[in-house]
Amino acid sequence: MYEPSHKSLRNDIVFTIALLAVLAAAWTIRNILLLVYVSALFAVVLSPAIELIRRMHIGKWRPGRGGAILVLILAGIGLVAGVGLLVLPPIYRDLHAFAVDLPHRTAGVLARMRSLPFGMNFDPAVLEQHAAEAVGGAFGVFRTITGGLMGAFTCVILTAYFIVDGERTFHWVLSLLPAAQRPRISATMIRAEARVRHWLIGQAALMAILGISVAIVFGLLQIKYFYALAVIAGILNIVPIIGPLIALVLAAIIAAFDSWTKLAGVLLFFAVYQQVENAILTPRIMKLSVDLPPLAVIIALLIGGALAGVLGALIAVPTAALLAVLADEYLVRKDDAEVTAAK
């Protein structure tokens, strides 16, 4: 009967301790690793746009990767600036008029609250006390938002580096693997890359549907700045949970200062739309874009949100598409006819 030598046992113990140490270190820096993974994922998604810009000619100048990234960033800044120039002037004028008329509006809102059944005993002093407490808590929210903005800025920088050096980094990682496995792994990752890129198409469709729906419904309700709210809601819809919630809060505040009927309409619209999007639109659109079953999309969103919050929900579907390709290649058993057809 074979008995392992002391040297083999010692090597196994050392390997196990080293593996546990690596896992412990990875858990300690899990937020950084998640940020790196998200950046790499967005680099894959945005690569087609970069390649499209590189094919453009401006006279005799043809942009490289760095120039294409700069053009894409400037285009994004120009888009934001254009929307701001279109939206901000009327909002500024109305805010100035609102500030002048604030005492009257506040009195009107308080009168409406007292007219409600639960507002008979409403005390404005209680509202002032809660407002003062909210101001103190706002500093914590400000720190959270600041940290999120810094994380987003870091993600943009890392994404740019991955776009520039991603191919070289990929081949370097392949060089660490056994030579016999490299062709198969390379072909699998190329298939996964093509599948993940389609996620952006599906996400853009969801953003457009929400933006158009907000514009139509809020326009019919005659809510102020409905066009601005439509643009904001569409853009924020790329961030699950938090994005639609911010759009809801903004629309609710604007509608509340106009009439309770409009506020009820805003709340009803978002309540119905979120159910339709989560149960029908997202599963079906993502099935068409990344070829995942609707049930897999829903489960991926739930798991991603539970593991990493909003960021996890954001990357849940493309990650599920990546894992599906890897599982299909390495876990699913195929007969000889399927393997021949795949080749």
pLDDT one-digit tens code per residue, 65-123: 777 888 888 887 887 777 777 767 776 676 666 666 656 666 665 666 556 555 455 55
Q: Are 162 and 40 in contact (CB under 8 A)?
A: yes
Q: What pLDDT score was predicted for residue 1?
A: 47
At residue 84, what is the residue type?
A: G
Residue 42 CB-density burial (10 A; 0-12 exposed, 13-18 middle, 19+ buried): buried
pTM for the complete prediction? 0.70
Q: What is the pLDDT of residue 213?
A: 94
**How many residues are present in the chain?**
343
253 sits in which H/E element = helix 242-256
pLDDT tens per residue across span 9-56: 777 788 788 888 988 888 888 888 888 888 888 888 888 888 788 777
3-class SS of residue 58: strand
Domain boundaries, the chain: 32-176, 181-343
> Which spans in 55-181 are helix H?
65-100, 102-115, 124-175
Q: What is the DSSP letter of 293?
A: -
Rounded to the nearest integer, the mean pLDDT of the chain is 78
Which SS3 state, helix, strand or coil, does residue 21 take?
helix
How far, rounded to the nearest angstrom, does the alpha carbon of residue 318 sit from its chain's CA centroid? Answer: 11
